[in-house]
């Protein structure tokens, strides 16, 4: 599916969902939308194609179960129709041309499946050579439109999302608004100026992730993607962007636990911090000058903690002395959710693979060296890819013949942190 966010009219946020018109079940997608959309967002649903789409009553009931109200519903037969609808909705949205829509996950899905017969006769598969538009596939996640929440058997969480820029937007502001890190949003949009992206640019929001290969319990931190995953005893996994230690002050790998937790912590600079800045005070109490923010979760490793920050724009960077920073709103939520004794696992997995909806996905993140280069230059440290071939082949198993090696190798080189489908769909 596609999520487009833009202020509509007098600053009211607008969310546009493009749904698979040939499916009658959108509950997973709508639940994911509720998790991302704000309480003031105005929702517009567009059913793309299909000749057996759900009735308005059926879809309305699905909206109700997802606790989404006041949703307008439109139907479009093709991508050009979607573009026309967006232009009618808001003249500023006319900047999205059909070519731009085709580059999104929805557009690639439509280009693939519109060549398949939707009649009552036996479906006709497109020729194998045209099964997938290869080059644009690596640009952003390709995902079945019918559902995007991770099911118990799914290793992919979140959904592809996009932000249509306005005049005053910056990548830093978009990162904070959508709960992603700065380097992550730069890696996903290497051709966009972070300070002056321009009006009407479609920015990929890296809010879809493959779960790390680690026990699904407690807290799991994957350093290369600068992201934390929390697996509660009940309910769905939650994930947050983080800031970690820089060169020479790396956050350690391994297993530990939450040893203590404290609101309004006192910051005591370490010896190395005093050596770098001799004028630092012996300690800083609670307040706006405290770099630990309002909440701290102390780890079993001496001198390390997960905490907030008084510099939110440091999230998604390697800028700490080894501690793990979170946005103020994220650490507050996590602080209330976790208990002392919660296990914590820190891993280093730049490449991750996982199955969702019968398809295999690959996500390749920047290396730790790339992160520093992305922050300053906007591009990874080198043009050499991360070799994930063995990882992908092992995960594919009996479906190895379905692997699209061109897309796999392109994803390894891009290292943009966006999950990409790397299996060719089974014709139907």
Q: What was the pLDDT predicted at 135?
A: 26
Average pLDDT for residues 68-75, to the nearest whole number? 72
Residue 79: pLDDT band (50, 70, 90) is low
Residues 178, 209, 307, 321: which is the catalytic one?
307
Q: What was the pLDDT predicted at 285?
A: 85
Q: What was the pLDDT predicted at 370?
A: 80
Give a yes or no: residue 368 inside a domain.
no
Report how far residue 284's alpha carbon sits from residue 261's, in angstroms, rounded to the nearest whole number: 18
Report how far residue 136's alpha carbon sits from residue 366's, in angstroms, rounded to the nearest whole number: 19
Residue 210 token pair:
């493959």
Q: What was the pLDDT predicted at 3?
A: 52
Report whether pLDDT(118) > 70.
Answer: no
Q: 109 with 142: CB under 8 angstroms?
A: yes
User: 201 with 219, same domain?
Assistant: no
Query: What does pLDDT average to over the chain?
Result: 77
User: 141 with 241, same domain?
Assistant: no
Q: Which domain holds residue 220?
A: 214-347
Average pLDDT for residues 141-167, to the nearest whole number? 62
> 307 catalytic, yes or no?
yes
> 323 catalytic, yes or no?
yes
Instruction: Using the 3D structure, point to which of 347, 370, 388 is the last residue of a domain.
Output: 347
Average pLDDT for residues 79-90, to the nearest whole number? 67
The larger pLDDT score, comparing residue 278 to residue 342, is at 342
3-state helix, strand, coil in the chain (%, to 5): 30, 25, 45
Give a yes or no: residue 229 inside a domain.
yes
Q: What was the pLDDT predicted at 96?
A: 52
Q: What was the pLDDT predicted at 147?
A: 27
Residue 222: pLDDT band (50, 70, 90) is very high
Give a yes or no: residue 124 inside a domain.
yes
- β-partners of residue 18 are 2, 46
User: 92 with 232, same domain?
Assistant: no
Q: Structural domain tally of the chain?
A: 2
Residues 14, 76, 106, 323: which is the catalytic one?
323
């Amino acid at each position: 599916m596609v999520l487009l966010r833009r202020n509509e009219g007098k600053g009211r946020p607008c969310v546009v969902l493009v749904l698979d018109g040939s499916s009658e079940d959108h509950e997973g997608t709508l639940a994911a939308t509720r998790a991302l959309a704000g309480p003031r967002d105005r929702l517009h649903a567009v059913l793309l194609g299909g000749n057996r789409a759900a009735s308005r009553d059926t879809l309305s009931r699905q909206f109700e179960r997802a606790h989404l109200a006041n949703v307008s519903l439109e139907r479009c037969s093709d991508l050009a129709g979607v573009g026309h609808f967006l232009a009618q909705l808001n003249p500023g949205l006319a900047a999205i041309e059909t070519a731009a829509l085709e580059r999104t996950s929805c557009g690639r899905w439509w280009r693939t499946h519109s060549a398949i017969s939707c009649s009552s006769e036996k479906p006709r598969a497109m020729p194998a050579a045209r099964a997938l538009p290869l080059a644009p596939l690596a640009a952003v996640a390709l995902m079945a439109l019918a559902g995007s929440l991770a099911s118990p058997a799914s290793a992919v969480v979140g959904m592809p999302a996009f932000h249509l820029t306005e005049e005053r937007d910056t990548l830093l502001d978009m990162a904070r608004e959508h709960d992603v890190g700065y380097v992550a949003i730069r890696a996903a949009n290497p051709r966009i100026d972070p300070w002056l992206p321009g009006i009407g640019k479609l920015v990929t929001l890296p809010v879809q992730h493959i779960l790390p290969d680690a026990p699904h319990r407690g807290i799991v931190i994957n350093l290369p993607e600068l992201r934390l995953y929390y697996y509660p005893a009940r309910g769905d996994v939650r994930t947050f962007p983080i800031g970690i230690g820089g060169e020479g002050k790396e956050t350690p790998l391994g297993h530990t636990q939450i040893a203590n937790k404290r609101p309004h912590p006192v910051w005591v600079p370490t010896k190395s911090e005093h050596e770098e800045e001799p004028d630092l005070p012996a300690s800083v109490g609670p307040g706006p000058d405290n770099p630990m923010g309002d909440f701290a979760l102390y780890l079993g490793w001496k001198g390390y903690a997960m905490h907030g920050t008084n510099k939110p724009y440091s999230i998604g960077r390697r800028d700490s002395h080894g501690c793990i920073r979170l946005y103020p709103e994220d650490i507050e939520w996590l602080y209330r959710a976790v208990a002392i004794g919660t296990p914590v696992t820190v891993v280093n997995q730049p490449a991750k693979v996982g199955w969702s909806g019968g398809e295999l996905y690959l996500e390749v993140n920047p290396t730790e060296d790339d992160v520093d280069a992305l922050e300053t230059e906007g591009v990874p440290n080198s043009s050499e890819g991360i070799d994930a071939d063995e990882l992908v082949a092992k995960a594919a198993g009996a479906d190895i013949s379905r692997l699209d090696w061109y897309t796999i190798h392109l994803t390894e080189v891009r290292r943009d942190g966006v999950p990409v489908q790397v299996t060719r769909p089974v014709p139907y």
